[in-house]
Amino acid sequence: MTQPKESSIYGGAKPKLPKTPQLASEKPVPSKVTAPGILARKATGQKILALTAYDSPTARLVDEAGFDLILVGDSMANVVLGHATTLKISLDQIISATRAVKRAVDRPLVVADMPFGTYHISQEETLRNAFRLVREGGAQAVKIEGGQKRAHLVRALVDADIPVLGHIGLLPQSYNLRGGYRIQGRNLDGAEQLLEDGLALQDAGAFAVVLEGVPSQVATAITQRIDIPTIGIGAGDGCDGQILVFHDVVGLSVGPQPKFVRRYANLAEEIRKALDALAKDIQHGEFPSPEESYNYDGNLPEGWEDKE
Ligand code: KIV
């Protein structure tokens, strides 16, 4: 059956766009990254490249750039949804974002953050919520915040065949309890606590652990003393990998950035310029052009265009 001429301006089959050549690493990489594959990096010394993403176009770019792990982080609350903290994001919002990410990527391991309140009530509820992230969102692993006090949950999740990425140090979900975002492990007691936390997560079966807001010396020592990879954010260069928030890296975040953020682009400025140019073109009647418009087949009946 012949389709009407303009039926395919939106939608249709998922476009198979050519992938850009490998950018971030010169080495050939295995096709799919798995949780055991991330764990195995500890022995190889090949740095783990991790970034957040919350939507399909961003995730696709992160995949193309050769990143190993995409975190659908609860930082989406701050950088996408405009909340002041990560506490307000819901499980449904993370599931929806995880689906979008999964639709776009082939290679990286997709890890979904368990939001505040989804693993705090009981082990049973933690498992139920994690199953939703895997079954409905398509997550290949989940991340929960906390060390020793969450180790039993990590064990339960791993026993239920759900790989877990731990997260210790500065814990955004503990914002109220700790009275703000505080660097952890600045003294020996704090450093020892962090090491205990890392070991507890390792023993519970986590495949890797995020170290956030930890002095470099402490993060490096923990990296040397535990058997699972550490992925640092604000934890210096001694970790087994690094993770950052996508919007911070490309200059789309609003407000002052922590000192560990290195901005590789200023997309906000680029977008401002583009929107300013579009607004001017519309105001001056320069958009759309005839080439950007559709034509009626034939001629409109005489007088049809005239107002009464
Ligand atoms: O939600 C997030 O983006 C995170 C990273 C900061 C590790 O948890």
**Local mean pLDDT, 10-residue blocks, the chain (308 residues):** 48 51 56 96 97 98 98 97 96 98 97 98 98 98 98 98 98 94 96 98 98 98 98 98 98 93 97 98 98 94 78
Give the per-residue pLDDT at 24: 58
Backbone region of residue 161 per phi and psi (left: phi > 0; alpha: psi in -120 to 50; beta: other values): left
**Whether the CB of 145 sits within 6 Å of ligand 1:** no
Per the residue annotation, which of 212, 270, 302, 308 is the catalytic one?
A: 212
**Whether the CB of 52 sits within 6 Å of ligand 1:** yes
Give the per-residue pLDDT at 27: 56
Give the per-residue pLDDT at 6: 47
- Whether omega before 229 lies within 30 degrees of 0, making that bond cis, reads no
The CATH homologous superfamily to which domain 35-266 belongs is Phosphoenolpyruvate-binding domains (3.20.20.60)
Give the per-residue pLDDT at 303: 85
Q: Of 152, 77, 161, which is closest to residue 113 (Cα–Cα)?
A: 77
Whose tokens are 């023993």? That residue is 203
Rounded CA gap, 215 and 260, in Å?
Answer: 11
Q: Would you say 79 and 247 are in contact if contact means Cβ atoms under 8 Å apart?
A: yes
Query: To test the ligand 1 pocket, which listed residue (212, 239, 248) has its Cβ within 8 A of the most ligand atoms?
Result: 212
Tokens of 207: 């495949």
Give the per-residue pLDDT at 253: 94
**Whether the CB of 233 sits within 6 Å of ligand 1:** yes
Give the per-residue pLDDT at 305: 77
**Whether the CB of 74 sits within 6 Å of ligand 1:** yes
Long-range interactions of 254-260: CB distance < 8 A, separation 24+? 258/234, 259/234, 260/233, 260/234, 260/235
Cα torsion 170, 174, 179, 180: sign: positive
Strands (E), 162-279: 164-169, 208-212, 230-233, 241-244
Q: Is the pTM of this model over 0.85?
A: yes
Rounded CA gap, 171 and 131, in Å?
Answer: 23
Instruction: Indicate if 291 belongs to the active site.
Output: no
